[in-house]
Amino acid sequence: MLNNQDIAIWLLIALSLGMANLPFLTERVFAVVPWKQGGVAVAKPLWLRMGEVLVFYALVGAVAFSVEATLGNRYTQAWEFYAITFSLFLVLGYPGFVYRYLSRRRKMA
């Protein structure tokens, strides 16, 4: 049987997975604003996608921080914690990266 803490952790993991892959699955900035240059919609550059990943990491971290504060005592963390969790966030985003940059798409004739 799952308790509230278990449910919160699994929802946070699912949110992290979705947010880490979102920049690679859409051509819109933060999934809202279309990326245009010269009035024409074009593909987002990699630097913009990485910036989105960084912002989404901060958003997920804020949600995790509030969940931790709601469920019990909040613990202070050193820089190592953030380095490790950001690395894990990048690993969660790897499927989206593979889909966007490494998978071959067949051209329709």
Q: Which range of residues forms the domain containing residue 90?
A: 4-102
Q: Examine residue 68 and state whether it is found in any structural domain, yes or no.
A: yes
Q: Examine residue 29 and state whether it is found in any structural domain, yes or no.
A: yes
Measured distance CA(81)–CA(35) in Å, rounded: 33
Q: Examine residue 71 and state whether it is found in any structural domain, yes or no.
A: yes
Q: Examine residue 37 and state whether it is found in any structural domain, yes or no.
A: yes
Percent of the chain at pLDDT exceeding 90: 51
Q: Examine residue 30 and state whether it is found in any structural domain, yes or no.
A: yes
Report helix, strand or coil for 90.
helix
- Report pLDDT digits (tens) over 56-105: 999 999 999 999 888 888 888 899 999 999 999 999 999 999 998 888 77
Q: Examine residue 109 and state whether it is found in any structural domain, yes or no.
A: no
Measured distance CA(83)–CA(66) in Å, rounded: 20
Beta bridge partners of 29: 33
Q: Examine residue 108 and state whether it is found in any structural domain, yes or no.
A: no
Coarse DSSP helix, strand, coil percentages of the chain, rounded to the nearest 5 percent: 65, 5, 30
Query: For the chain, what is the domain count?
Result: 1
Position 109 scores a pLDDT of: 56
DSSP state of 35: P
